[in-house]
Amino acid sequence: MSELGVSLRGLRKTYAGGATVVRDVDLDVRQGEFMVLVGPSGCGKTTTLRMIAGLEHITDGQLLIDGRDVTDLPPAERGVAMVFQSYALYPHMTVAENMGFALRVGGMPRAAVDAAVRKAAEVLQLGALLTRKPRELSGGQRQRVAIGRAIVREPKVFLFDEPLSNLDAALRNQMRFELARLHRTLGATIVYVTHDQVEAMTLGERIAVFNAGRIEQVGPPMALYERPATRFVAGFLGSPSMNFLAARIVPNGAEGSVEINGTRRIALPAAPGFDPTLTVTLGVRPEHWRIVQDGGLPAQVELVELLGDSGVAHLRLDGSVDVVTFKTHDGAGAELAIGARVQLLPDFARALWFGADGRTLTVR
């Protein structure tokens, strides 16, 4: 238990009206780990974070921080500091006063407060801004002040609730770098909530993917991307998201074929190894299609998005309402002009298969 920063045991949250928004969540966050909770709006990730912070009552379950049961302790006694989406800075105070406020209220001597503020300001490169008011700061600077206010308290655990969602794209990229650098500098335990999969993939040492109040899967970012346990995880991680096609395996010796949407059969390089009578869905990431001359899925290009170093084409499969996405890099797929007809073949070595229950099928 000593190596664990935060442990959630069967955490549940049910409101007075009977709505249960977090259901039996089990999660271990190692000391010094950057753990990201990610999922769509309303999935329970922020409520889970607020239960860790003590801002939401835990209906059932147990919360431990550094091996100590803090389930029923007030927020101030848990050793956590939370950084909010809205910054929550006092407009009439300077940067230094905002950062040192909690320490002053706690009775720390002025000299010690000033030293703690200067130390945090150095880490966050805020030294030149200490005398400014929040209205004189950019969004990114305000967020760094909010982080500094948490740092000076020297908490056991930092909690971040969508801290970058109010920033524009350029500032979000910059602040992701700053947060990663901060984590390396402090070696702190961080639990970070976001709905942005790019933040999750680039910041998290591990990711917990939430869905409907439960954790679907926990693991390193690339492990979840390449080996998702469920169709939900596969579809949530990745941009553009994975293509899903109704499929039926047609056995024929060692190889066979797969029938897509009940209209078109394409050859399989090898039998997938699971029961061919199962109802299955074929999952293909946009970058895992190949354009072939024959033997693929006929499709027509409906839209092309040029992104500079890459492009995304949206194609409608013949005889189907399905529109699939195809991601190109370094000029590949230059023939994908609007109205063009091509044949697409999945890279079956990287494709995934999902059963009717939404879980990933094991390919042997």
Rounded CA-CA distance 301/347 in Å is 19
Rounded CA-CA distance 73/57 in Å is 10
Cα–Cα separations (whole angstroms), residue 34 to 58, 146, 252: 23, 18, 48
Q: Find residue 82's DSSP bridge partners.
A: 159
pLDDT for residue 307 = 78
In the predicted model, what is the mean pLDDT of residues 129-149?
92
pLDDT for residue 1 = 36
pLDDT for residue 272 = 81
Torsion of CA 219, 220, 226, 230, to 10 degrees: 20
Among 194, 196, 191, 203, which Cα is nearest to 162's? 194
pTM for the full predicted model: 0.90
Looking from the CA of 105 toward its CB, the CA atoms found within 13 Å total 10
Query: Which of these three, 175, 201, 228, is where a domain ends?
Result: 228
What is the distance in angstroms between the CA of the first residue and the CA of the last residue of the chain?
37
Residues 259 and 223 in one domain: no
Lookup: tokens for 215 = 């954790």
Lookup: tokens for 363 = 């390919």
Lookup: tokens for 132 = 């400014």
In a domain, 91, yes or no: yes
Contacts of 316 (CB under 8 A, 6+ apart): 299, 300, 302, 322, 323
Residues 167 and 198 in one domain: yes
Report yes or no: 244 and 231 within 8 Å, Cβ to Cβ: yes
In a domain, 23, yes or no: yes
In the predicted model, what is the mean pLDDT of residues 218-226?
97
Binning pLDDT at 50, 70 and 90, where does residue 364 land? low
- Give the domain range for residue 135: 4-228
Residues 220 and 247 in one domain: no
Residues 221 and 249 in one domain: no
In a domain, 235, yes or no: no
Among 223, 174, 167, which Cα is nearest to 194's? 167
Residues 189 and 331 in one domain: no
Q: Indicate which CATH number applies to the domain containing 344.
A: 2.40.50.140
* pLDDT tens digit sequence for 224-238: 999 999 999 999 999
Mean pLDDT estimate for the chain: 91
Rounded CA-CA distance 103/215 in Å is 36
pLDDT greater than 60 at residue 130: yes
pLDDT for residue 2 = 40
pLDDT for residue 333 = 61
Considering its fold, how many domains does the chain have in total? 2
Report yes or no: 244 and 235 within 8 Å, Cβ to Cβ: yes
pLDDT for residue 159 = 96
pLDDT for residue 273 = 79
pLDDT greater than 80 at residue 211: yes
* pLDDT tens digit sequence for 34-77: 999 999 999 999 999 999 999 999 999 999 999 999 999 999 89
Query: Which of these three, 197, 228, 259, is where a domain ends?
Result: 228
Could you give the 3-state DSSP secondary structure of residue 13? strand
pLDDT for residue 173 = 87
Q: Phi and psi for 54 in degrees, rounded to 5?
A: 90, 10
Query: Which of these three, 167, 202, 228, is where a domain ends?
Result: 228
* pLDDT tens digit sequence for 306-339: 877 788 999 999 988 889 999 987 655 666 889 9
333 vs 209: which has the higher pLDDT: 209
pLDDT greater than 50 at residue 98: yes
Among 5, 26, 144, which Cα is nearest to 78's? 5
Lookup: tokens for 105 = 């209220």
Q: Indicate which CATH number applies to the domain containing 143.
A: 3.40.50.300
* pLDDT tens digit sequence for 235-274: 999 989 999 999 998 887 667 889 998 778 899 888 787 8
Residues 122 and 219 in one domain: yes
Report yes or no: 255 and 58 within 8 Å, Cβ to Cβ: no
Residues 257 and 217 in one domain: no
In this structure, of 174-178, 338-342, 357-361, the range with the lowest mean pLDDT score is 174-178
* pLDDT tens digit sequence for 5-24: 999 999 999 999 889 999 99
Residues 251 and 197 in one domain: no
